[in-house]
Amino acid sequence: MQETTDVLVIGGGAAGLSLALRVADNLKVALISKGPLREGNTRYAQGGIAAVLDKEDSIEDHIQDTLTAGAGLCDSNAVRFTVKHGKENIDWLIRQGVPFDRSDDGSSYHLTREGGHSHRRIVHAADATGQAVQTTLEARVRNHPNITVYEDHIAVDLITGRKLGHTSNRCLGAYILDRTSTRVKVFRSRYVVLATGGASKVYLYTTNPDTATGDGIAMAWRAGCRVANLEFNQFHPTCLYHPKAKSFLITEAIRGEGGRLLLPDGRRFMQDFDAREELAPRDIVARAIDHEMKRLGTDYVLLDISHRPKDFILKHFPTIYQRCKEFGYDITQEPIPVVPAAHYTCGGVVTDLHGATDVSGLYAIGEVAFTGLHGANRMASNSLLECLVFAEAACKDILQQSSPDTFEINIPEWDESRVTDSDEEVVVTHNWHELRRFMWDYVGIVRTNKRLQRAKRRVDLLLGEIEEYYGNFRVTNDLLELRNLTVVADLIIQSAMQRKESRGLHFTLDYPTTDNLNPSHNTVLVPPNFAG
């Protein structure tokens, strides 16, 4: 079965939805969502979107804050490009109907401040900004006549000319598994856009939903795209610690509004690690918490906002208040237990400032991409901004091109004639748990050469075992996610082994200092079938 479209968008978060809407007035769009549209990472983003909206703020200050947080590895051109286009993208969201909070007098939008920012510049919708953006854009996508949404579909692999025996390696579409019918379909497309998010599910503890399995990064790598800086995995400092909470994120805006981190005995500790205390960048705060937990042998630290007025807390953090209340904590009266958790993949598929990858016709936008914006550490609330800015840039690039004649190329149907249904799903389950456990233990917040070597030996064994399994049995959602996650885990480990220093989110006890004698460099991995 084959579907034909102008633009195939794989991923239904802020990046995928906004690109689909921007391009659909001119081209036919097919949008692939692994589950329901609402289940992407965007929905769970609490804090907001960073942009220069206040007269006391400036483009140069936002740029400098981002460069500082990025620990010397940001691409200054990418930073300037993103920040410069911030306000126009916020205005676009407002025109779509996103209900951002207004100031008390209603004259402007309420702006909050988060770690690493020198000004209040975070526009938000209470503490559920991602949900407001997601639901607003989703409603518009569903009502657009040129957009067809395919929910409960997961990409198996990209289709390129080189895979079909052609000299050109242009991306021609993708094989997509319909999770309901369990059939694999061919989606032909003139342009393919990866908006699949990051790979934080590679770790045992994460703030991300179950869909964050690195699918786009793995597929792009197999198609011949370079990846970069995958050693920089951001761990959010504050995730609610509760056995039934399933990684509920506590927004950084809590600390931006005066929230204090405490040891179990009630003593503050961030002043021992950074002069900015609770408003230090996330990598510093996460390592500080990790250090104190290991030093004391405790399972968590405490986060306290109860000294602020109750009305203020209920107005600005209603989602967090309600969720914590469900687990027996009243944030207006007491501190809550928190731990760090894997949160954001700062590296990804190498792109230019139009979102274009090394493979012609293939774009990557949002968390799946490496644009150079984040450097060695993403600054809070720059992520949704990146999604919007590069969706706009990719849309403009696509619309400026003449449509390629790719539909006459023969693409074979998915062949299942030589495979069978697996009778041992326990293999997938076991390997899934083993992978996430050793990545957490050996490639987490603090690393060593020995830990990385142990992880590399284990991931090599898993790669061989999973590829053999993949070749013999019919594909399933769990198998595809495990295959992709294992590929990305290997790329993360390789990247971490190459960086012989501690910088930003990569901290190793064998090289605890930052190497400032040599020029800063990105860790770029080149696949055997590099398209360039």
Q: Are residues 294 and 393 in the same domain?
A: no
Answer whether 0.85 is exceeded by the pTM. yes
Q: What pLDDT score does 531 carry?
A: 67
CATH number at residue 213: 3.50.50.60
CA-to-CA separations, 199 to 35, 252, 276, 289, 440, in angstroms, rounded: 16, 21, 29, 23, 13
Q: What is the pLDDT of residue 441?
A: 86
Residue 85: the pLDDT is 98
Say yes or no: 178 and 72 in one domain: yes
What is the residue type of 274? D
State the Cα–Cα distance between residues 507 and 451, nearest whole angstrom.
12
Whether residues 119 and 217 share a domain: the answer is: yes
Q: Has residue 50 been placed in a domain?
A: yes
In terms of residue numbers, what domain contains 332?
A: 233-343
Helices and strands of the chain, counted as H and E runs: 14, 18
200 with 271, same domain? no
- Whether residues 212 and 106 share a domain: the answer is yes
Catalytic annotation, pick one of 43, 113, 190, 282: 282
Q: Are residues 318 and 378 in the same domain?
A: no
How far is it, in rounded angstroms, from Cα 285 to Cα 343?
Answer: 13
d(CA 289, CA 284): 9
pLDDT of residue 423: 66
Both 9 and 83 in one domain: the answer is yes
| 214 and 351 assigned to the same domain | yes
> Would 126 be classed as within a structural domain?
yes
- On whether both 226 and 238 belong to a single domain, the answer is no
Which candidate, 282, 443, 290, 444, places its Cα nearest to that of 374? 282
338 and 351 belong to one structural domain: no
205 and 253 share one domain:
no
Residue 45 · residue 38 · CB < 8 Å: no
CA distance 77 to 83: 10
Helix (H) or strand (E) holding 227: strand 227-228
Does residue 515 lie within any of the structural domains? no
Mean pLDDT, consecutive 10-residue segments, the chain of 532 residues?
93 96 97 87 79 94 95 96 97 95 86 88 88 94 97 97 89 96 95 97 89 96 98 93 81 90 97 94 87 89 97 93 94 95 95 98 98 94 96 97 79 85 79 93 93 97 92 91 97 98 95 87 95 68
Active site residue 282: yes
Question: Packing angle between helix 477-498 and helix 215-223, nearest 10 degrees?
Answer: 70
CA nearest neighbour of 155 among 284, 359, 331, 9: 9
Q: Given the DSSP bridges, would you call strands 122-123 and 111-112 parallel, antiparallel or unpaired?
A: antiparallel
Same domain, 368 and 390: yes
The number of distinct structural domains making up the chain is 3
Q: Which of 364, 382, 400 finishes a domain?
A: 400
Helical pair 76-84 and 383-400, crossing angle rounded to 10 deg: 90
Query: For tokens 């990064």, what's the residue?
Result: 217
196 φ, ψ (degrees, to nearest 5)? -90, 0
